[in-house]
Amino acid sequence: MAPFVPVPNTVRINFRITSSTYSGGWRQFFSYSSAPPAAADCNALATGAATAWANNLAAITASPLALTQVDVIDLNNDRGNVGEWLGTHQGGLATTFIVPADTSVLVNHQVPRHYRGGKFRTYLPCGSGQELASSKSWDSGYVGNVQAAWGSFINAILASAPGLGVMTHVAVSYKQGFIANPNQGTWAPKNIPAPRPEGPLVLGIVSHRVSSVPGTQKRRLRPS
């Protein structure tokens, strides 16, 4: 079991999206200004995040897909409280053409720092064939709708948990550079990402941009 790495004054929110043939998810990080949240605060945030999804992202999500679970985990230490919401919020986009499970809408996140490497991003399972302008592009109107919906979604979460004080949408970087892979095998990579020696870096997200190019997350094709 890998050791837990604390992220001070930060919670992770996991969103589970399912259908009759699909199960996947994504996550976001938020910092808080209060003391570490109680279990009741985490449950309230999970419920607030689910409501934010229903009020903002359901309208841009294909109708076969539904939000069925939200988990909130306090990362401040390895005994941080957790919260959970279970239910069903159905997508609102009527569709007859479902895209493959690995196809997603890519939301790129901008942070106030220059860096090399992968961008901070979110892969949203939401669009369907009707929202594609071509095999390589989402419809421009749909991209604009997701752009607006995502901003409203994040703002709704920020306003949903007064028990955590002032909340900020953030990105968390756990790795920096590379180290030699201690588990060498026939197909093992020579190097693997190295943990940051000073601990995770937390960066505020200042803006977001929805890509017109369909994203892909191949691990969503693995058996669930």
- End-to-end CA distance of the chain, in Å? 21
User: Is there a contact between 112 and 133 (Cβ–Cβ < 8 Å)?
Assistant: no
- φ, ψ (nearest 5 deg) of residue 118: -65, 145
Evaluate whether residue 4 is within a structural domain.
no
Q: What is the pLDDT of residue 167?
A: 96
* Contact call for residues 56 and 152 (beta carbons, < 8 A): yes
Average pLDDT, the chain: 90
Q: Give the model's pLDDT for residue 136.
A: 93
pLDDT grade for 98, boundaries at 50, 70 and 90:
confident
In a domain, 164, yes or no: yes
89 assigned to some structural domain: yes
Top-confidence residue, 143 or 21: 143
- State mean pLDDT over 78-105: 91
Per-residue confidence (pLDDT) for residue 223, from 0 to 100: 55
Percent over 90 (pLDDT), the chain: 66
Residue 218 CA neighbour count, 13 Å, CB half: 0
Residue 207 has pLDDT above 90, yes or no: yes
Q: Does residue 3 lie in a domain region?
A: no
Q: Can you list the alpha helix ranges (DSSP code H) found in the chain?
A: 39-52, 140-158
> What's the pLDDT band for 112 if we cut at 50, 70, 90?
confident
Residue 167: inside a domain, yes or no? yes
Look at 20-29, 55-64, 83-92, 203-212 and tell me which has the smallest mean pLDDT.
Answer: 20-29
Task: Evaluate whether residue 1 is within a structural domain.
Answer: no
Domain membership of residue 95 (yes or no) is yes
Q: What is the DSSP letter of 223?
A: -
What the block records as the tokens of 218 is 């191949």
Does 115 score more than 90 pLDDT?
Answer: no
Residue 191 CA, distance from chain mean position: 27
Q: pTM, whole model, 2 decimals?
A: 0.90
pLDDT tens, position by position, 33-80: 999 999 999 999 999 999 999 999 999 999 999 999 999 999 999 999
**Percent of all residues in the chain with a pLDDT value above 70, rounded to a whole number:** 94
Exposed/middle/buried for residue 107 (C-beta within 10 Å: 0-12, 13-18, 19+): buried
Quote the domain boundaries for residue 32: 10-218
Residue 5 covered by a domain: no
Instruction: Please count the structural domains in the chain.
Output: 1
Contact 145, 153 (CB under 8 A): no
Q: Within 10 A of 2 (CB to CB), how many other CB atoms are there?
A: 5
80: burial class by Cβ within 10 Å (0-12, 13-18, 19+)? buried
